[in-house]
Every structure is written in structure tokens, then in C-alpha cells.
Amino acid sequence: MAKIEQILALEQIENDIFRGIATETMLPRTFGGQVAGQALVSAVRTVDPAFGVHSLHGYFIRPGNPTMQIVYLVDRIRDGRSFCTRRVTAVQDGKAIFTMSASFHGQDEGIEHQDRMPSVPFPEDLPDPETMFDAETLLWAKREWAEWEFRFVPPELMDASRRAAAQQQVWFRSREALPDDPVFHVCTLAYMSDMTLLGSANVGHEEKTQNASLDHAMWFLRPFRADDWLLYDQTSPSAGLGRALTQGRIFDRNGNMVAAVVQEGLTRLMRES
């Protein structure tokens, strides 16, 4: 399997045109986090380093072919004194499979506050995932996500909201040390943020569903490292009509809220063949 450094190392093939590698996968379609992460890298490569990415909003238009490379076309929408905006279109076989708008900010002085991190055990105090999942799930995870480490908070240890319809909490990180470049960690988190989030919609349901990301939005709030443990506090406030809305707050282990995510996904009941 490709390393995250390989996945995010895009080739520049023309001004504002980039190409990402195809990666080995067992998924029938390109992993959404890969497309979002590569699209964000392409946008970053066209922006002055003085501006840091603070948000992205993307739509998954068509399933990506995991055996094909993806070309990213960047439009420079605006370069202002405080903000820059880019629009990215991911293309395979001449067709758009993903579009993203990304906004960059030069940082300013302002008010400060944040939600408190849920009171949950630290990852070192949680059971190894191998004790929590069936053999088929573990085999898939070890092959598909070998370089990522996860610790799911058991329901009885969760700091759960009584108002949440469905909720799960997951610690996650890169197993290996990553480059020190803060922008690399932002793009890596864009990749990682698509992992497990839609699964929060299935909490409490026994029906088998066909799942796919439909859109994805992120806000990057404070500095962090993706090779340190991050807590992904996930909820699904609504599901219906074959779609589920999910949202996540991401904290570092010191309690700093570093990012927020909202995603809608397909959760259609599996059709009988």
C-alpha cells in the first residue's frame, strides 16, 4: 500500500494542473479521503505560504476509479490581503469526479473559545481493536489502513450526549512519524477525516447499508500533528431517505479542538440481488 507521503506528493504537469497517483486498494472506488487530500494539496501548491488553509467544502460527483491516476485542475478564484480562495476539479477519463472550494487565511487577532473535549480514556488505556472486531474486518483494516492506528472508545466508556441520535468516539493517528511541515499535517487530516465518520450513522442500526461519501466540509482551527493521537468525536444527528448527516469534532490529547467536520453520506439499504 502507498504511504501518505506518496499519496500527497502530486506531480505538477502544467500551471495549476496536478496529477495524483493511483493507489492499491480493496475498495471498489477511490477512497474519498484520498481525493480530498490530493485536491487540497493541489490548491495549497498555488497559494502563498503566508496563507494557511482554514476550510474546504467538497462534493463527490462520481465514483473514482482506483486503478487510474487523478488530474486536479485549480482555479485561482481570489487572492486578497487576508483571504485566498481556490476551486479544484478532480478529473478522470475526461469527467469530473470531485469538486472542492478551499479558503486560505493569513491569520488575525480575535476572540477565542472552544468546546471542551469529551472525558474519555486515553488511547493507551483502551483495548486493542483486534479484541473488538471480527476476523474479516481486521484483515481488511490491516491491509487497507496499515499505516493508521485506531482506538475505538467502547460505548460504556464514552462521554455521550443524551441528545445525540447516534454517536461514536475514535482515537486515531499515523503509526509512523510524518514530516514537520504543518501544511502536510493539514492535508493528511483531510485524508484521515473520511475514515470512520460515516460509520457513526450506523450506530444502533442492524440493517446492512451501501455507504459512500456525498459531500465533505472541514474547518481547521488550531495547529496539530497527525502522527500524535487525535480524538474524533462523531455524531449523526439525522438519517433518512437513504442519506445520513454526520459531524465530527477533532481534539488533540491536550484537549485543543483542532478541526471540525461535516459530511453527508449515502446510507441506502442493501438491495437484494
Q: Which residues are catalytic?
A: 194, 213, 263
C-alpha pair distances (Å), 108 with each of 51, 83, 112, 182, 265: 11, 11, 12, 18, 34
Task: Decide: residue 37, CB within 10 A, 0-12 exposed, 13-18 middle, 19+ buried.
Answer: buried
The span from the CA of 190 to the CA of 213, in Å, is 13
Q: Evaluate whether 177 touches 205 at the Cβ level (below 8 Å).
A: no
Cα(167)–Cα(200) distance, rounded to whole angstroms? 6
H/E run at residue 72? strand 70-79
Residue 229, phi-psi category: left (phi > 0), alpha (psi -120 to 50), beta (remainder) = beta
> Could you give the residue ranges of the DSSP H alpha helices within 145-211?
182-192
Give the sign of the dihedral formed by CA 121, CA 246, CA 25, CA 208.
positive
Q: Which residues pair with 86 in a beta bridge?
A: 76, 102
CA-angle at 103, arms to 219 and 5, nearest 5° = 75
Q: Count the neighbouring beta carbons within 10 Å of the beta carbon of residue 149.
A: 17
Angle at 111 between CA 236 and CA 82, to 5 degrees: 90
* Distances, alpha carbon 257 to alpha carbons 96, 178, 220, in Å: 33, 21, 9
